[in-house]
Each structure stands twice: as C-alpha cells, then as structure tokens.
Amino acid sequence: MSSERSQVRSNRRLRWAAIPLAATLVAVLAGCTQAQLRGYLPGEPGITNHTDRIAGLWTTSWIVLLVVGLITWGLVLWVAAVYRRRKGQTGLPVQLRYNMPIEILYTVIPLILVVGFFAFTARDQTAIEQPEADADVTVEVYAKRWAWDFNYLNEGPNGDGVYYQGMQAQETDESPYIDYDQLPVLYLPVGANVEIVLESRDVVHSFWVVDFLYKKDTVPGKSNHMYFVPEKEGEYMGKCAEFCGEYHSLMLFKVKVVSQAEYDDYIQSLVDAGQTGTRGAEYNTNSNLPGTKPLDSGE
Ligand SMILES: [Cu+2]
C-alpha cells in the first residue's frame, strides 16, 4: 500500500473520531444551567463557606472522569470499528503479547488519577476540618432515636447555655405526610463562626444538613466536630444519614440561618421558656459503652 493511501485512510479515521468528540463538547458547553454546573448537587452556591469548595471538588472530579470515560469509550468503539473482521479474512489476527509503552501508560495514568483525587480530597478535607479556635456560636447537638437536642453553649443569662429538645417528625394523613412545622429547629446566625459538637444519646447517627453538602456521624462516647460559617439566610432541611432503627426516616430537623438579631430573639425565647442550662450526657440512654456494667453482671 502506498504511504499516500494510508495517509488518506488515517485522516478519515481521525475525522470519524473527531465528530463524536466535537458533538459532545458542543452539547456540554452550550447552555449549562446552574444546576448542571454544580453537578446536580442540592442547594446553591455560597450557602456555607465550604460548599463552593465541595461543589468544585465534585464537578472537577466528574469532568476528569468523563474525559477519561470519553477517551476510553472512544478507543473501544474505534478499535471495534477499525479492526473488525473484514470480508474474506480467516484465522486469528496477529497475536501481541507484550507492549511495554501501552502497559506503562495504563499503569501510570490511573496512578496519576488516584494520587490526584487523593491529593485534592485531602487538601479540601483538611480545609473543611480545620478547627475554629474562637467560634462565635457553639452548639452541642445530641442525636437520639429519633430526634435531636440542641444545647446552645455559652448562651443565656449566665453563659450556662440554653437548650432545645426536639421530637421525631409527626406523621399526617395527607401529603407530604409529615408536619414540617413541628420538626426540631436549629437556629444559626448568618456569618458567624459556628462550631457543632456532635454527640449521641444511644446509637450511631449522622448529622446531615443537605444543602451544606457535609455530614458527620454522631458516635456514642465520642465527640465529633463540624466547623463552618453559614453565609446565606434561609431554611435548610436536615436529617439523620445513618440508619439507626425503626423511625430513622422520621429523624428530621431544620436549620434556620437568620440574622444575629433574630438569633438573639430566639435564644431569649428559650430563656423565657425556662430552658436554661443544657441537656447533656445524663439523658443518654445507651447502656453498652465500654466500662458500663452489664445489667446482669451482679456487681
Ligand atoms: Cu438516626
């Protein structure tokens, strides 16, 4: 075969490969909605000081993975089409055993990807988990089957704290089958450095405010922490994200991010209701922590 003919053929191949790539690029770049740009994550940009970072990690990871996917799918289709069995061909094609460059390629590229994902995840996680030394607001959250208690530490007349005890979601007969007005509510002032101390009264639960794009387990006998700045006023749904028993699905709550004045009013309303102090570990119902004597131990 003359080199000219093979040149023509490889040009034609390139053109065939370019069409789906170009079509995909056009489809991707034209008319991206805000939701698509955020990789269909819930919420909107800037709800906390961490959400944009999390959305960035998510969408960038997807873009990298889709590029890898497109190249892989493209190569699979390309070899299937170009190296298909032609009319009149018999026997096996030339059998290749080793191809060092290819093997190095498919070892090194995944390695770069894995190390890259790890590095960016570690970078973002370190930033998100960075403890806030002087939090403006510290709320101790007690998860319990199947609701939430909130201790607003350092608030109230003597700084002894004020508390709110939530009850599990109340079911109703009509859609949406939940009385959202009775859900436990966590109030947070907008723009404040918030520290959440996560505790459990019984089993492992998980504190998840959906639009904050972050969740963390509450573990009996262990304190976990979350640090963030809520940056947009609004009402956000929260739920337990760790299957914890029969009414796990009713373990809902709301977070209201409000102005400092509204927050102060709310704290005052708890003080006025006599809910000063905290509802701490003395209300725990777990009985199987390490060091807890079994009921029938006879000791
Ligand atoms: Cu739970």
DSSP codes, the chain = --HHHHHHHHHHHHHHHHHHHHHHHHHHHTT--HHHHTTT-SS-TTSBTTHHHHHHHHHHHHHHHHHHHHHHHHHHHHHHHHTSPPTT--SPPPP----HHHHHHHHHHHHHHHHHHHHHHHHHHHHHH---TT-SEEEEEEEETTEEEEEEET-STTSS-EEEE--PPPB-SSTT-B-GGGS-EEEEETT--EEEEEEESSS-EEEEEGGGTEEEEEBTTB-EEEEE-B-S-EEEEEEE-S--STTGGG-EEEEEEE-HHHHHHHHHHHHHTT-BS---GGG-----STTPPPTTS--
Residue-range domains of the chain with CATH: 32-83+97-128 (no CATH), 137-283 (2.60.40.420)
CA of 70 to the centre of ligand 1 (A): 40
pLDDT at 45 over 50: yes
pLDDT band per the 50, 70, 90 thresholds, residue 77: very high
CA of 162 to the centre of ligand 1 (A): 23
CA of 181 to the centre of ligand 1 (A): 20
CA of 253 to the centre of ligand 1 (A): 11
pTM > 0.85: yes or no: no
CA of 182 to the centre of ligand 1 (A): 18
How high does pLDDT run on average in the chain? 89
CA of 285 to the centre of ligand 1 (A): 14
Q: 231-252 pLDDT, tens per residue?
A: 999 999 999 999 999 999 999 9
Mean pLDDT across 283-289? 76
